[in-house]
Amino acid sequence: MTQTADSVRRRPASWPPELAFVRTDRTGLVTEASESLTTLLKTPHSSLIGHSFADWSVTTWPAAIDTQVFQAVRDGESYAGYLPLRRPDGADVWTFAIVTPVANGLLFVHTPPADPAALDEVRALFDHLAKAEERARNAGDQSAEAKEQGAKAAQEFWATSIWSTYPEFMAPAMVAQARAVKPAPPVQGGAAPGEDPVIGLATAIGALDAQVRPRLERADTLNRLAETLRETSWGGAEVMGTLGRIAAAAMVGSAEVGDAAPALVSTAKAAATLGAGTLTRVQALLADVTEARGAVGRLEARLATVAVHGALVRAAADAAWPPADPGPGTVPAACAVELARVLVSGIDELISNLASTRDILARVREGADAAAEDVARFHGFINSWRLQVPRWHITERIEAHLGVMDGRQRLAAEHVAQLRELAGTCQEGIEYCAAAGLFGPMNAIGHLATATRGPKGRHAVATPPDLGALA
């Protein structure tokens, strides 16, 4: 293709500094790297290509985290988190990295940490685990045993944190990272996508960005939801304990005065039966809440990954077209197309995550509404029982039980409000999970990424789609 003035103008002066990427083969040797990565590591491009990317890793990185990263990618999943890299001068530089399995290797996308508080907590975790592993090694443990001690220390660390797992903690941090990556300006003029397939990706990604960026800006909905789900997990035991103690106090108090107040026994039995059914419902709700917590975390992570990968593909498309003479840090068109394939897979998973999250949130909403109704009915039964006590002139005889019940009844009323709040927050999450607008960009990017190699090894698209409606 002839390089027109329009196509040349579309090419940026340099790779976006906030996006550094590297691709490795199956053995970990670097096959491609952006010029921004060489700037980040302060090392020449020739020192990266053909060398193991592990050469730039921090040797004191905890083995427990190392295992988690590579177990994820071995399972074909992406991994996201803070990774320290070591420059040749010995200085460490922290990045936020998304590691994704790709054909014949791995793709690492590094961005500058955007959430200082999250980075501080991760550094504290890494330090905690590294010290536990060092103590194990100093005590004579083998490498596997030291790693096991590190994994145990990780469990202890999260037991004292508001987050239950490392991926759950990282999900909102990933959203902060994705928000920090600025969207590229729209494509202006130039050749049609059929003549300029790689730049055609930029047009389709602009449509994708129009769908993903507003979701990122509204990710506080997911953060609020995650917080409410966490609080429900913690408070579930309290709900069950409250119901159990109220029912027990009513039953024991009624038994003590059964002959004098037979109606109290009847009401207490009805409340206990309802309470038992409510406990079963709350237990099922808590199981769904646990599942929903994981789903929301995965959704946040996938949303952020798609946003960052979209920016990466757009940058690669801008850098790869029009073709330039090969040189350090240049990006071939083939690379842009292969990265687009990774992006398409990610969008497909995002659509799946949106659907599965919507479904589990609907189940939690229904369960929370039903549990709130049950707890409210139980609360009403106990109020009825409580109002009968003065009529039978037995207040003094069961005074100890009444004190327990009155305090717990106030808690029961609070639990009803909390369950209804959970249902309302889940409804917000359900509305957030609409996915219809993502299909067009995914199909367009997928069509452009379904390329065939031309005679000179470049990619060409035989029948590109009409992207006009997506601009």
Query: Side-chain half-sphere of 8: how many Cα atoms within 13 Å?
Result: 4
Residues 128-145 pLDDT 10s: 878 887 887 777 666 667
Mean pLDDT across the stretch 19-29?
86
Q: Choose the most confident range, by mean pLDDT, from 18-22, 223-227, 428-432.
A: 428-432
Whether residue 422 has pLDDT greater than 90? yes
What pLDDT is recorded for position 365? 96
Q: pLDDT tier at 470 (50, 70, 90 boundaries)?
A: very low
Mean pLDDT across the stretch 408-427?
86
What pLDDT is recorded for position 118? 80
Chain-wide mean pLDDT for the chain? 76
Tell me if the bond preceding 185 is cis, omega within 30° of 0.
Answer: no
Please tell me whether residue 372 adopts helix, strand or coil conformation. helix
**Which amino acid is it at 207?**
A
Residues 321-352 pLDDT 10s: 655 555 555 566 667 777 788 888 889 989 99
Burial of 445 by CB count in 10 Å (0-12 exposed, 13-18 middle, 19+ buried)? buried
Residues 71-115 pLDDT 10s: 777 777 777 888 888 888 888 888 888 888 887 888 888 888 888
Q: pLDDT tier at 397 (50, 70, 90 boundaries)?
A: low
User: How many percent of the chain have pLDDT more than 70?
Assistant: 75
- Cβ atoms within 10 Å, residue 204: 32
Give this prediction's pTM.
0.76
Choice between 266 and 448, residue whose per-residue pLDDT is larger: 266
Residues 194-227 pLDDT 10s: 556 666 777 788 888 888 888 888 888 888 888 8
Q: pLDDT tier at 127 (50, 70, 90 boundaries)?
A: confident
Mean pLDDT across the stretch 286-309?
89
DSSP letter for each residue of 238-256:
HHHHHHHHHHHHHHHHHHH
Residues 69-83 pLDDT 10s: 777 777 777 778 888
